Amino acid sequence: MSLLTLQAPAKINLTLDILSARPDGYHEMEMVMQSVSLADRIRLDWGFPGGIRAESGLRFLPNDKGNLAVAAALAFRRATGQDWRDLRISIDKAIPVCAGTAGGSSDAAAVLRGLNWLTGAGLSPMELARIGEEVGSDVPYCVLGTTALAKGRGEQLTPLPSLPPCWIVLCKPHFSISTPALFREWDRKKKHLRPDTKGVLAALDQGDLIGVARRVFNVFEAVLPPHQRRVIEGIKNAMIQAGALGSAMSGSGPTVFGLFDREDLAQQAVQTLSETQEEVFLTRPLAEPPAPAAEPAE
């Protein structure tokens, strides 16, 4: 039996744009992605009897292949033609669940990186990302992490210069949003306001935090039901009032992020938001890709 622990970092979308609906039911995307220091901790017990299963202590998270972490282990075993049977995946959740911050996708990506190390398969990050495609659209990005442009379904990735050092406040309001339902709303309503993705790429090239922050934008915000949109707008306003350089919803929501160039202002924002919201976090951007595998656990 072998043990391994890994970090599975959350992500935010600095921009999220939908270019078109595709005949296969997915959408062509253009997104600037950023991983952050808030992370789940994944422990892999490879060879622990009982088949492939996940444990999180959270009743609403599935333990079987309905959990992306288990789906990733099955996809890895299939893709590599390996025939081992037993893996216990223990998930210590820090990333909010169903929140637009890729918690499940990042757990899946960590499992792929971990199994690559434990089984000695020796796949490259790009090969692992390709296995991740069948698990979920955000998984390939989560395998590579840091700052990247994601296109296609989300699997066509171009590394970008790092977001300049800053503080990122995350705030998840107390409701969940169905990703497929939000895509259907976008199909119905198709709003015309779009992010200035080119401007964000240029600002990243120049190391211009303010230039990035004033262009953060998510096309999903415009098609939210009015009561949810009001909550999101309220949190964004609170971030800006507290001194954020920019604020937007991440992914299909409902987590809102704010970018700050001063730690004291970010901490103040956390304090203010915590008066009305339960899930508020102070994070930093990650400039290094997640380590392929941490040191083996004790």
Catalytic residue among 17, 40, 107, 138: 138
Interface pattern 83-122 for ligand C5P (x via CB under 6 A): ----------------------------------------
Can you tell me which of 19, 26, 159, 210 binds ligand C5P, judged by CB under 6 A? Answer: 26
Q: Which one of the spans 52-60, 178-186, 192-200, 232-240 is the region binding ligand C5P (CB under 6 A)? A: 178-186
Instruction: Note if 11 is an active site residue.
Output: yes
Structure tokens at 194: 């779009």
What b/e readout covers 137-155, taking b as 16+ CB neighbours within 10 angstroms? bbbbbbbbbbbbbbbbbbb
What Cα–Cα distance (Å) separates residue 114 from each residue in 69, 80, 197, 204, 240? 11, 14, 33, 31, 39
Closest CA to 178 of 94, 61, 99, 278: 99
Question: In this structure, what DSSP letter does residue 292 have?
Answer: S
Q: Packing angle between helix 68-80 and helix 125-133, nearest 10 degrees?
A: 120
Closest CA to 38 of 168, 222, 230: 168
Can you tell me which of 153, 214, 229, 284 binds ligand C5P, judged by CB under 6 A? Answer: 153
Can you tell me which of 180, 275, 288, 298 binds ligand C5P, judged by CB under 6 A? Answer: 180
Catalytic residue among 11, 40, 45, 172: 11
Our finding on whether 183 is near ligand C5P (CB under 6 A) is yes
Query: In the complex, which residue's CB is closest to ligand C5P?
Result: 137
Can you tell me which of 63, 162, 179, 276 binds ligand C5P, judged by CB under 6 A? Answer: 179
Please enumerate in sequence order all residues whose Cβ is within 8 A of that of 191, keeping only pairs 6 or more positions apart, or say none. 219, 222, 223
Q: Which helix (H) or strand (E) holds 239?
A: helix 226-241
120 vs 180 by CB, closer to ligand C5P: 180
Instruction: Note if 151 is an active site residue.
Output: no
Q: Which one of the spans 40-48, 88-96, 120-128, 133-141 is the region binding ligand C5P (CB under 6 A)? A: 133-141
Q: Residue 138 Cβ, how far from ligand C5P at the closest point, in Å?
A: 6
* Residues near ligand C5P, by CB under 6 A: 25-27, 29, 136-138, 153-154, 179-180, 183
